[in-house]
Amino acid sequence: MEIIKDYDVVVIGSGHAGSEAALATARTGINTVLLTMSLDSIAFLACNPSIGGTAKGHLVTEIDALGGEMGVNADKTTIQLRMLNLGKGPAVHSLRSQVDKIEYHTEMKKTLENQKNLYVRQAEAIKITEENGEVKGVLTSKGEFFACKKVIVATGVYLKSRIIIGDYAEEVGPNGFKGANHLTQSLIDLGLEIKRFKTGTPNRVHMDSIDTSKLEIQYGEDNIQTFSFLTKKQNKNKAVCYLTYTNENTHKIINDNIHLAPLYSGEIKGTGPRYCPSIEDKVKRFADKQRHQIFIEPEAMSTKEAYVQGLSTSMPVDIQKRILKSIVGFENVSIMRDAYAIEYDCINSLDLYPTLEYKNIKGLYFAGQVNGTSGYEEAAAQGLVAGINASLNLRGKEPLVLTRSDAYIGVLIDDLVTKGTNEPYRMMTSRAEYRLHLRQDNADLRLTQIGYSVGLATKARYNKLMQKIKKIEEAKLDLQKTISPINQKLIDLFLDKNEVPPKNGVTVDSIIKRSNITAFDVKEVLGMFEGFDSAVINQINIQTKYDGYIKRQLEQIESAKKQENMKLDEYFDYSLVKGLRIEAMQKLNKIKPLSLGQASRISGVSPADINVLIIYFKLKNR
């Protein structure tokens, strides 16, 4: 066995979590090695060729604001960009980018290879060693032992992965990559609880075999926000997507052959994602629905492969073909890759601190789908936080714990370590109670200062933030200006926007507060906000229009912080507290919350239990 001692951190896995974790440690001066089963699987988009979407777009902008790479890489490789939920308020506006799948992998691999303090190594990790409750290193299948101080496990869906198509099963990872069949036992030996989850992916079909004239075309949008606050110019939309639907015949084929579906035959043992079900699950669960949306998305500009979003299945290949050919426009479809389900091992996220460090072994962190989440964006967010915390600990600094009022990332991690998950966890806007404050357009205003303070966000990024804040303050001066007397331009603007024109002089902010008028309209018609870019004007528009709601939410956040700031001892024995219900005592001793706020969010801990804790600790402190 060759012992290698040159590295402070070993990151296991090079997917979206592993890539962010390795970059976070290396960029903060920590000597890091990234172990990957295959160099060809770095940042691989194993499922849909897109980044962002509802709530996920928020995560990407937050990753970027903190100094992460996903947003930068997505902007580099975008082939179509859209803003979802524009018919609703800004809290749920969500950026989604169709990216070039091949280029996304290539660009991230290039970034990792060129990063100082980072060594990328193709090798399979089979064992994590510890001594006296502290991590000591990682052993690979070929006998190399990387002695280190921190290990970040970001194995994605590769642990004992098993692909299932009908009655066919094979022990491989996504897209046929080699699975990791040895590390699970090491995790069990370290005391971790292992779960079995399942996800899936649809067919890839030849684009030229689809009659797109029968489908609804989906264009990209120009001049909208990009993921990275450093991106100076949005990429041109290079591709289009298409929309079609399943039909009565599609559903009949599925129902007639449901006994062949591994999900219903018992072949699949793992728990699947409730919010991203297979087409057979959708047809059975929503029997009253006459059709389901199907999106056709290009995988890359250099290939004819197209991703059939909404048609994830593990049905036998002959049934897959019949299902596809029943859809309008797919009558002569040519399948290039079969759809499949994939089962894999993951851990119980309740075994982790909010720093994503394992409670029983110092220096061992977990990030991504191994924690029971689904999605590239959720994985990257965890990888970033795990990497930052491993680095902070090595540098003797306080850990980074983002709260639910700081970021969607805070909501994601708090849910995982406080509530746990019994199915692949997906981020949704409804999970964030402060979503009006946690918008994607203000992620830099919320988080870049934090990213800079932990040493990850660059000086250039920080200076750009300071300049933006200064510009916003300057633009706010225009809001108090009074337009008097009322001129014809202003009257025409009000009439054009179906608003009642004012009779007396009005301030600019009162104009923007009208439902149908924006700060951009005011700029165009009245010549206000000259010299300010669209990001600044957008902030003025949202902050002015939703001023009362935002102030109310900030007051709620301040009130909640009183509970959140009441720290609890992570080693405290809750069986000492008289008056706690048995379930609450057991849950508190299992999770060991770090604050009263976290304790209040544990399933099984009631408001009455929280009151008992408050009284107990007040008396104890006296």
DSSP letter string, 264-290: HHT---SBPPTTS--HHHHHHHTTT-S
Crossing angle for the helix pair 16-27 and 101-113, to the nearest 10 degrees = 30
Confidence band of 113 (pLDDT split at 50, 70, 90) = very high
Whether the Cβ atoms of residue 536 and residue 468 lie closer than 8 Å to each other: yes
pLDDT of residue 270: 79
By CB atoms closer than 10 A (0-12, 13-18, 19+), residue 399 is middle
Rounding to the nearest 10 degrees, give the CA dihedral for residues 56, 58, 63, 65.
160
> Is residue 348 pLDDT above 90, yes or no?
yes
Residue 477: name the closest of 436, 424, 525, 531 by CA.
531
Token pair for residue 334?
Answer: 């040519």
> Is residue 170 pLDDT above 70, yes or no?
yes
3-state SS assignment for residue 237? coil
Whether the Cβ atoms of residue 390 and residue 150 lie closer than 8 Å to each other: yes
- Compute the distance between CA of residue 603 and CA of residue 588 in angstroms, rounded to an integer: 10
Whether the Cβ atoms of residue 84 and residue 96 lie closer than 8 Å to each other: yes
Token pair for residue 585?
Answer: 């005592």
Poorest-pLDDT segment among 102-111, 242-251, 557-566: 557-566
pLDDT of residue 484: 67
Crossing angle for the helix pair 101-113 and 70-77, to the nearest 10 degrees = 130
pLDDT of residue 412: 97
Confidence band of 559 (pLDDT split at 50, 70, 90) = confident
Confidence band of 528 (pLDDT split at 50, 70, 90) = confident
pLDDT of residue 84: 95
Token pair for residue 424?
Answer: 């692949």
Residue 261 carries which DSSP code? Answer: -
**What structural domains and CATH numbers belong to the chain?**
204-343 (2.40.30.260), 459-553 (1.10.10.1800), 566-621 (1.10.150.570)
pLDDT of residue 561: 84
Q: Could you read off the pLDDT of 466-510 as tens digits, one per residue?
A: 999 999 999 998 888 878 678 888 889 999 999 999 888 889 999
Q: Which residue has the tokens 């795990």?
A: 386
pLDDT of residue 23: 98
- Compute the distance between CA of residue 569 and CA of residue 560 in angstroms, rounded to an integer: 19
69 contact partners, CB below 8 Å, separation of at least 6: 19, 20, 23, 63, 108, 111
pLDDT of residue 481: 85
For residue 606, which amino acid is it?
S
- Compute the distance between CA of residue 174 and CA of residue 55 in angstroms, rounded to an integer: 25
For residue 391, which amino acid is it?
S
pLDDT of residue 202: 97
- Give the chain's length: 622
Question: 384 versus 609: which is more confidently predicted?
Answer: 384
Mean pLDDT of 18-37: 98
Mean pLDDT of 266-272: 80
Mean pLDDT of 388-411: 97
The mean pLDDT of the chain is 94
> Is residue 313 pLDDT above 70, yes or no?
yes
pLDDT of residue 266: 79
> Is residue 49 pLDDT above 70, yes or no?
yes
pLDDT of residue 126: 98
Question: Do the bridges between strand 144-147 and strand 2-4 make them parallel or antiparallel, or are there none, so unpaired?
Answer: parallel
Residue 154: name the closest of 22, 56, 43, 11 by CA.
11
What is the per-residue burial (b if ≥16 Cβ within 10 Å, else e) of 29-56? ebbbbbbbbeeebbbbbbbbbbbbbbbb
User: Does pTM top 0.85 for this prediction?
Assistant: yes
Q: Which residue has the tokens 């609890």?
A: 568
3-state SS assignment for residue 85? coil
Token pair for residue 316?
Answer: 């036998």
Confidence band of 121 (pLDDT split at 50, 70, 90) = very high
Instruction: Report the percent of the chain where pLDDT is more than 90.
Output: 83
Q: Could you read off the pLDDT of 171-194 as tens digits, one per residue?
A: 999 999 999 999 999 999 999 999
3-state SS assignment for residue 322? helix
Residue 151: name the closest of 22, 34, 9, 361 by CA.
9
